[in-house]
Structure 1
Amino acid sequence: MKDTIKGLGNEIAGNAKQALGKARNDPGQQVEGKAQEKKGEVQQGVGKVKGALGDRI
C-alpha cells in the first residue's frame, strides 16, 4: 500500500511540474515532471503487484 501511495504522490507532483513548466515555458521542468510522473506510475504498479501477492513477498 505504501508504494501505491508514494506512486500517486509522485504522479501528482510530476503532473504539477509539467503544468508549471508549460506555463513558464520551461522545457527542463516539463521533462523533470514527466520523469517524476513515470516514476510514480512504476511505483503504483509495484504497489499493486505487492498487494496482489500479499505476504508472499
Structure 2
Amino acid sequence: MAWTTPPQLDPERSRRRLQLLAELAGARAVQQRQRPRRARGEHLRQLIATRRRVAG
C-alpha cells in the first residue's frame, strides 16, 4: 500500500482541531495533578477496610 500525504484541511477546521487538542492537553494536565490525591484516598480506604476486616 502506497503512502500518500493527507489532504489539506481548511484553515477553520485546522484552527478548531488545534484548539481541541490544546483543551485536551489541559484536561490531561489537571487529571495528572489530581491523580496523587485520588491515590492517597484509595490507599486510605484500603487501610480502613483491612482494619475493619481484622477487627470484625
TM-score, structure 2 as length reference: 0.51
- The reply on whether 1:33 has 2:22 as its aligned counterpart is no
Runs of at least 5 residues in structure 2 that lack an aligned partner in the other structure: 1-5, 42-56
Larger radius of gyration: 2
Once the 2 structures are TM-superposed, how far is the Cα of residue 25 of structure 1 from its aligned partner? 3.9
2:27 to 25, 43, 53: 43
Indicate the percent of aligned positions where both proteins have the same amino acid: 9
**Alignment root-mean-square deviation, CA:** 1.7
- The reply on whether 1:53 has 2:32 as its aligned counterpart is no
More helix by proportion, 1 or 2?
Answer: 1
TM-score, structure 1 as length reference: 0.51
